[in-house]
Chain A
Amino acid sequence: MYSFTPTEEQQMLLDAVKRYAEGDIRPASREAEESTELPPELIEKGWELGILQASIPEAYAGFGDYSVLTGALAAEGLAYGDLAATLGVMTPNLFVLPILLAGSEEQKKSFIPPVIEMEWKAYTAALIEPTFDFDPQALETKATQKGKDILLNGEKIYVPYASEAQALLVYADLDGKTQGFIVPGDAEGLSVGERQKTLGIHACPLYSLKLEDVKIPAGNQLNGPDGHSMEGILASWHVALAAMAVGVAQAAYEYAIDYAKDREVFGVKVAQKQAIAFMLAEMGTDIEATRLLTWEAAWMLDEGKEEAYKHAFLAYSGAVDMVMMVTDRAVQILGGHGYIREHPVELWMRNGRGFAAFTGLAMV
């Protein structure tokens, strides 16, 4: 049967996320962007919602079952508040969820509980590399076997909270395949570069990272020396970003509606002009369409459906274009005022463009 109604539990989570996004994130987001700092209390409060904890089984100290769909619902709700804060709150997901999805039993038992039982701490992941055609399936960072150890060498960018990382999941190429490796934050050969400056999400602390003969035991490869498949992880990146793109777009869309119904031009409201009203209608339609495709992909992943990975990619790919279209139009609908930093639409437009480059920055 088709159904588009979340479960009661999901609805409760959604309500809590909405209160946090509207009551806490949104009021803090401009200040965070300008000062390039996410207040730790804000992050901690988001962490206390227990979104990640609720998707980890009891055996690993969580209190729920892993569900991409529930994660996607929450991610959309958070991103509706602000994207930088969302990425901040969800940074530990980048470390925990790949271990849950692809790690060995031993790795799950030893690495997951310390992260989710405590207050928010910087557990993060390093994936992205500084090339225009960056491809997670063809990494430049190399892993080489040396006896019982693995040596990691390469250069990463956009590593959230790298400067204070307790531990990271580093993705590197091992014999032509991308694999994840658990690396302690104080590993020798690991050097954190300057804080990176980006088009948007200024508040999210992103760093470059150099790995020079970083030595870790072979057992730190996800799932041990036998390695693991990347497909589930890739799909989770895709769904998470698609859901967040919907959240960002929804924020811009609602803001544009309110503005257009208030502002007058030529004796009528801006929204009464078809050129504007039609833009809004298309924005609303494409947001809902993208949301449904994202939910469907998430549901397929949860149900283990054939083609779920492909659907996750389709959802993400559609979301990348949708969020750019919607946020651009939101700025357009506000006219010159949209270009001024007093309004949030210019921020959403800058954040919106990021989804094309953010693969690996979010997981659900």
Chain B
Amino acid sequence: MLTMIVRRLLLAIPTIIAITALLFFSVTTILGSPAGMMLGQDASTDAIAALNARYGFDRPAIMQYGAWIAGAIQGDFGRSFTTQQSVARAIADCIPVTLEMTLWSILLATTAAVILNTIPVARRALAGATTAVNLIGITVPNFMLGISLIFLFSVWLGWLPSTGWAPWSDGVAEHLKRIIMPVLTLSAYYFGVFSIVYRAEYRDVAQRMFIQVARAKGLSEWMVAFKHALPNAILPVITFVGITIGQLTGGAVVTETVFSMPGTGRLFVSAIAGHDFPVMLAIGMLIVTGVILMNLLADIAYTIVNPQIRFD
């Protein structure tokens, strides 16, 4: 197990380097020279040359990448083109917001998806309904759900502030008021995804012999479902949760934009809009590293839930 973890971690290094390199070169070739992007199309050649020299854009791309990755390893991702702020700083400020929102949403969505799809009566009675709910969760764009919530709770009922962010230091109530709608919005999406994954696996597990054996022992349908089927059906959900947490920005982009939350998702969107090359790269690297690490964690969680799976 320990050797597996070490091996996977060592393997992660070349993967991260390869993916960031790909990101680096594709961004530079597709978007053109960063100086051109920053200064606009009418910039004089002199101005571009000056900027290139200042940021080192006149060096060969491979050397630029080398310098970037060397800095990145030490936690230095350069400065933002648009705000001149340290990129590492900007991201570090955003991560807690996104992380908290994502974790609450995943917790809520997984619990609801697993429990609702395990309860015997609910599972059968809602077979059609949950599918519809799943589809609504997945297909109704997040921004529409977000806007509907804002309309209902902020505009109409006036219970909750529509947008913005309040850190814990502003008081628990203030904090919860701001985070509840984004969490509900994001959970709806995760609920749909997790339900589909879980239901598919549950159907397979329910066909296995040990389920019939559990009934033959005289266990109630609830015991059969929660004690015998659930632990076997939950494995793919664990992987999904891992990947989802790893992606961080993935699900958060729209939600953060709708609710104007200062998270990594919104940072990413504004970086793209402002051609803010260092910020884009740094978030790219964050996503790659996150996905790899969470995949590893999910695999470790697997072995804990299901003893049959052992890594050599």
Q: Do A and B bind each other?
A: no
- Chain A positions within 8 Å of B, measured between CB atoms, are none
- Taking beta carbons and an 8 Å cutoff, which residues of B are in contact with A? none
